[in-house]
Amino acid sequence: MNLKSGFLCAAWLAGTTGLLSALLTPLFAAVARRSGVMDVPRERSLHRNPTPLLGGLGIVVALILTTVAHLAAAAFLARHSTFLMPVISDLQLNLPGLSATWGRLGVIFAGGLAICALGLADDLWHLRVRTRLFVQFGVAIAVCALGVRPTLGIMPEPLAFAVAVLWLVGITNAFNLVDGVDGLATGLAAIAACLLGVTMCTTGHPCPGALLFALSGACLGFLWHNWHPARIFLGSAGALFLGYMLGAITMIATFMSERTTWLFPLLVPVLVFAVPLYDTASVILIRLGLKRPVWEGDSSHFHHRLLRIGFSHRQCVAFMWLLATAFGLGGMLITRGSWIASLVVLAQAMVLVCIIVLLERVVGSQVGGKPSTRQANPQHEDRETDDQDLAVFPTQPGR
């Protein structure tokens, strides 16, 4: 597929799904208000007024409708290639492969719907962490057993299977945990989907790439309603679905091009998801260091810490989006570069992480854990002012 056709397909898929998502989201907001599925502000909340959930269902429905419609069209065109427009005639080479992906995509979407149902139940009844993890591991095991897992020739099959299950559950929860500020998780998912879509198309995986562009468009369409101040939230249903889909799609491609002989490209999704993974890892370290239950919610997330050291709401979101883009662009280079270039990219990523940690520790120790007076809106001030949650590690032992 040449660059022109690839750009046209990406723009078409993203635009179509984005428009559907933007149109469907207000409908689900109305359903949420009528059925009482609202996020009522609590002690740790960064919003003041009850806000409808179920926004993620707009993304789910838009993505499924777009995917089914385009796969049906691909199956038709594979048998009637004369209908192809000359400007995208080179797509004919990929149509048989597109029409043959029904089975694999069916498994991915079936798992996605199960994860979405789990999130919806959590939005309605606030499920226990143990219950959520049990269902997530069950879905991940089933999806991986049905063939949606990476080919890791360097590992024994049982170990590769376990890594795939842990990866899928980990990314699913990472995006759910980072969904604490208006537009943050949605924007991170859109950036990750776009970068991964470009990477997959350039490494010979047009089908997953097309699905990722559609997912990116759905996120952008929803972001119109989710940007601060948000009129609707993703909810657990949407956040879990986004994490699951990104984790599952990354497992059906190797990220290896014909020019690569080293295994560094396997780290591409790790770099693309660096920000939500950093948030999850840092929160776990903080809670373990303070001897708190890892599964107990608090205000120790990365976005909470940025707000406390002086970032406004939109500055916090923009900062994390920029970080995700910086990490992800480096990951894209790994698929095309030599092992030396890959080592440089990984070194730069580690330097970025060190800069973030240093920023939190130095600025955090000066602020002293108090909510910044630079907050543009008092409703977004964090009401927990625990000094111990300010940095990745407590600045003073025993506090």
Q: How much is the pLDDT for 390?
A: 37
144-151: list long-range contacts, CB under 8 Å, 24+ apart. Answer: 144/168, 144/251, 146/107, 147/104, 147/107, 148/104, 148/107, 148/108, 148/111, 148/248, 148/251, 148/252, 149/251, 150/250, 150/251, 150/252, 150/253, 150/254, 150/266, 151/254
H-helix segments, the chain: 3-35, 55-79, 95-99, 102-125, 129-145, 157-177, 184-202, 206-226, 235-250, 268-272, 274-289, 302-308, 313-334, 339-367
399 and 268 part of one domain:
yes
Mean pLDDT on 33-42: 88
Q: How much is the pLDDT for 233?
A: 96
55 and 155 part of one domain:
yes
- Longest distance between any two alpha carbons in the chain, whole Å: 73
Tell me if residue 371 falls in helix, strand or coil: coil
72 and 210 part of one domain:
yes
With contact defined as beta carbons under 8 Å apart, do 222 and 193 qualify?
A: no
Mean pLDDT on 370-380: 38
193 and 164 part of one domain:
yes
pLDDT surpassing 70 at residue 228: yes
165 and 180 part of one domain:
yes
Tell me if residue 51 falls in helix, strand or coil: strand
201 and 272 part of one domain:
no
372 and 224 part of one domain:
no
Q: How much is the pLDDT for 376?
A: 38
With contact defined as beta carbons under 8 Å apart, do 186 and 234 qualify?
A: yes
Mean pLDDT on 216-245: 95
Q: How much is the pLDDT for 6?
A: 66
- CA-to-CA distance for 262 and 138, rounded, in angstroms? 33
Domain tally for the chain?
A: 2
Last residue of a domain, one of 198, 219, 254: 254
Mean pLDDT on 135-154: 88
- CA-to-CA distance for 325 and 352, rounded, in angstroms? 12
pLDDT surpassing 60 at residue 392: no
Q: How much is the pLDDT for 369?
A: 45
pLDDT surpassing 70 at residue 313: yes
Residue 338 pLDDT class (50, 70, 90 cuts): confident
pLDDT surpassing 60 at residue 173: yes
Last residue of a domain, one of 227, 254, 281: 254
Residue 320 pLDDT class (50, 70, 90 cuts): very high
Query: pLDDT higher for 245 or 91?
Result: 245
Q: How much is the pLDDT for 377?
A: 38
With contact defined as beta carbons under 8 Å apart, do 183 and 191 qualify?
A: no
Query: pLDDT higher for 91 or 321?
Result: 321
143 and 241 part of one domain:
yes
The model carries a pTM of 0.86
Tell me if residue 52 falls in helix, strand or coil: strand
Provide, rounded to the nearest whole percent, the portion of the chain with pLDDT above 90: 52
For 53, the domain range is 1-254
Last residue of a domain, one of 194, 222, 254: 254
> Residue 174 has which token pair?
């990472």
**What type of residue is 72?**
A
Query: What's the mean pLDDT when you consider all of the chain?
Result: 82
342 and 393 part of one domain:
yes
Tell me if residue 296 falls in helix, strand or coil: coil
Angle (CA) 206 243 24, round 5°: 85
Assign residue 19 a region (left: φ > 0; alpha: ψ between -120 and 50; beta: otherwise): alpha
265 and 152 part of one domain:
no
302 and 210 part of one domain:
no
Radius of gyration of the chain (CA): 21
86 and 234 part of one domain:
yes
Neighbours of 42 (CB within 10 A): 9
What is residue 38's DSSP assignment? E
